[in-house]
């Protein structure tokens, strides 16, 4: 087995044969104890995986990475919490790029990882706040690895195996993911925000490319993503005017 080259991420792993949701498990652990920073909850069989905005996360038993990592980003103000999103998204993007052609991998705002126009990984961050600081974060990550048939996971799922025709060693991949997560978390912690933000924008799906989007009322419009504001909202040029969208206000068409 490959050595794990980290200081803290993945040094403690709760390896569960089956669990409803690794995020739920991590949140319960946090409510009952003080797990060390970097503690991971990992399972081969997640039976009620949670996705963003109340959706579900499909994962065939034994085929994929489904895990959560506990962080204590108490150095981060609540108003800057999107930076944590950027760090975790960049870590998963770095990870996927190790195995696939770099040019095909991107981050679909806010934190889906795409290969071409297909989703390979999803991230669910759950923060607990004290006053205006972040006390703890559960970073839940689902990466499609060896699964080749998908029933429900929208939209347009893909996996490392579908992209390459190869089967991957999940243990080895997990160690490599822990290393990417630690590197990006430490980049954030050491205040190197600018390179992190530049990397995020440099990898953003449809950045600076005119494309079709859909408003929450169903209207389809053409716009160009121009950036992200301090709170992590999407900045777009729509008919020559800068417009800002929240997560629930816009869909990629």
- Per residue, the 3-state secondary structure of 67-133, as one string, reads EEEEECCCCCEHHHCHHHHHHHHHHHHHHHHCCCCHHHEEEECCCEEEECCEEEEEEEEEEEEECCE
Q: Which of residues 16-35 bind ligand BTN (CB under 6 A)?
A: 21-23
Q: Between 153 and 187, name the residue whose CB sits nearer to ligand BTN.
A: 153
User: How far, CA to CA in Å, does 120 sit from each of 71, 100, 111?
Assistant: 23, 11, 11
Residue 49 engages ligand BTN in binding (rule: CB under 6 A): yes
Residue 187 engages ligand BTN in binding (rule: CB under 6 A): no
Q: Between 141 and 188, name the residue whose CB sits nearer to ligand BTN.
A: 141
Please provide the distance, in angstroms rounded to a whole number, between the alpha carbons at the two ends of the chain: 43
Q: How remote is the C-alpha of 182 from its chain's centroid?
A: 14
Residue 52 engages ligand BTN in binding (rule: CB under 6 A): yes
Q: Which of 6, 11, 45, 55 binds ligand BTN (CB under 6 A)?
A: 55
Residue 123 engages ligand BTN in binding (rule: CB under 6 A): yes
Q: Which of 10, 38, 50, 84 binds ligand BTN (CB under 6 A)?
A: 50
Q: How far apart are CA 227 and CA 178, in angstroms?
A: 28
Q: Which of 58, 94, 112, 199 binds ligand BTN (CB under 6 A)?
A: 112
Neighbour count for residue 62 (Cβ, 10 Å): 10
- Candidates 2-10, 65-73, 94-102, 173-181 — which segment interacts with ligand BTN by CB under 6 A? 65-73
Rounded to a whole number of angstroms, the minimum distance from the CB of residue 64 to ligand BTN is 8
Which residue shows structure tokens 């909202």? 233
Rounded to a whole number of angstroms, the minimum distance from the CB of residue 121 to ligand BTN is 8
Rounded to a whole number of angstroms, the minimum distance from the CB of residue 122 to ligand BTN is 2
Q: How far apart are CA 113 and CA 219, in angstroms?
A: 25
55 burial via Cβ count (<10 Å: 0-12, 13-18, 19+)? middle
What residues contact residue 2 under an 8 Å CB cut-off, 6+ apart? 171, 172, 175, 176
Residue 57 engages ligand BTN in binding (rule: CB under 6 A): yes
Q: Which of 142, 157, 223, 232 binds ligand BTN (CB under 6 A)?
A: 142
Contact between residue 73 and residue 137 where contact means Cβ atoms under 8 Å apart: yes
Rounded to a whole number of angstroms, the minimum distance from the CB of residue 140 to ligand BTN is 3
Residue 68 engages ligand BTN in binding (rule: CB under 6 A): yes
Q: How far apart are CA 71 and CA 182, in angstroms?
A: 10
Rounded to a whole number of angstroms, the minimum distance from the CB of residue 111 to ligand BTN is 8
Binding interface with ligand BTN (CB under 6 A): 21-23, 46, 49-52, 55, 57, 66-68, 112, 122-124, 140-142
């Amino acid at each position: 087995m490959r050595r794990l080259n980290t200081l803290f991420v993945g040094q403690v792993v709760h390896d569960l044969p089956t669990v409803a949701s690794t995020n739920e498990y991590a949140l319960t652990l946090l409510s009952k104890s003080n797990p060390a920073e970097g503690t991971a909850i990992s399972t081969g069989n997640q039976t009620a995986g949670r996705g963003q905005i109340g959706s579900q996360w499909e994962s065939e038993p034994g085929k994929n990475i489904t895990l959560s990592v506990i962080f204590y980003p108490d150095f981060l103000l609540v108003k800057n919490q999107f930076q944590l999103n950027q760090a975790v998204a960049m870590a998963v993007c770095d990870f996927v790029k190790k195995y696939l052609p770099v040019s095909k991998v991107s981050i679909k705002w806010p934190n889906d990882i795409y290969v071409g126009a297909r989703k390979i990984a999803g991230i669910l961050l759950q923060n607990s706040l004290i006053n205006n600081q972040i006390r703890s974060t559960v970073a839940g990550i689902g990466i499609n690895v060896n699964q080749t048939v998908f029933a429900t996971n929208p939209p347009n799922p893909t996996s490392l195996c579908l992209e390459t025709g190869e089967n991957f060693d999940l243990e080895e991949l997990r160690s490599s993911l822990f290393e990417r997560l630690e590197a990006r978390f430490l980049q954030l912690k050491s205040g190197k925000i600018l390179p992190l933000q530049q990397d995020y924008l440099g990898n953003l799906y449809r950045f600076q490319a005119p494309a079709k989007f859909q408003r929450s009322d169903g209207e389809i419009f053409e716009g160009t993503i121009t950036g992200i504001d301090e709170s992590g909202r999407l900045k777009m040029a729509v008919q020559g005017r800068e417009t800002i969208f929240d997560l629930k206000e816009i869909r990629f068409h």
